[in-house]
């Protein structure tokens, strides 16, 4: 994480928005469900495309779906089934902060991720 020295909210926001990409990826961590937390001995894991998540905050509380996209520049994720209706009636995906979801099922297409989590067992 970026070491934010100031207590001023504007400087904290500026540090988040202007953080380098290798630091911004850490803002994409989401808490694990209690069963996964017990299994992997970790509280949070980085969200990737293909994970199944449950929304825990906002207008879509309780909705569950696959992660369709991860925007590392804005530190937001797109969940399948979570969308807003525009005035003209078209559906647009609603972006969600990764801290406002809970991972219920992990995607293990990446073998490195599986090994890394397997070490925690």
pLDDT digits (tens, 9 = 90+) for 87-97: 999 999 999 99
Residue 3 maps to a domain: no
The conformational region for residue 20 under phi > 0 = left, psi -120 to 50 = alpha, else beta, is beta
- Range(s) of the domain holding residue 98: 9-119
What CATH number did the domain enclosing 44 receive? 2.30.30.30
Residue 4 maps to a domain: no
d(Cα 38, Cα 119) in Å, to the nearest integer? 14
Pairing of strands 101-105, 52-55: antiparallel
The number of domains in the chain is 1
Residue 22 maps to a domain: yes
pLDDT digits (tens, 9 = 90+) for 53-85: 999 999 999 999 999 999 999 999 999 999 999
Residues with Cβ within 8 Å of 12's Cβ and at least 6 positions away in sequence, in order, are 4, 6
User: If pLDDT is split at 50, 70 and 90, which confidence band does 107 have?
Assistant: very high
Residue 65 maps to a domain: yes
């Amino acid at each position: 994480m970026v070491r934010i020295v100031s207590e001023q909210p504007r400087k904290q926001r500026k540090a988040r928005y202007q953080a380098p990409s290798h630091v911004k990826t850490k803002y994409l961590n989401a808490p694990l469900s209690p069963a996964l937390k017990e299994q992997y001995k970790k509280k949070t894991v980085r969200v990737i495309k293909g994970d199944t998540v449950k929304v825990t905050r906002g207008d879509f509380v309780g909705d569950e779906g696959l992660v369709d996209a991860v925007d590392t520049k804005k530190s937001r994720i797109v969940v399948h089934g979570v969308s807003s209706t525009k005035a003209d009636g078209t559906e647009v995906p609603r972006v969600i902060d990764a801290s406002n979801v809970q991972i219920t099922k992990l995607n293990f297409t990446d073998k490195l991720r599986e090994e890394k989590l397997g070490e925690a067992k």
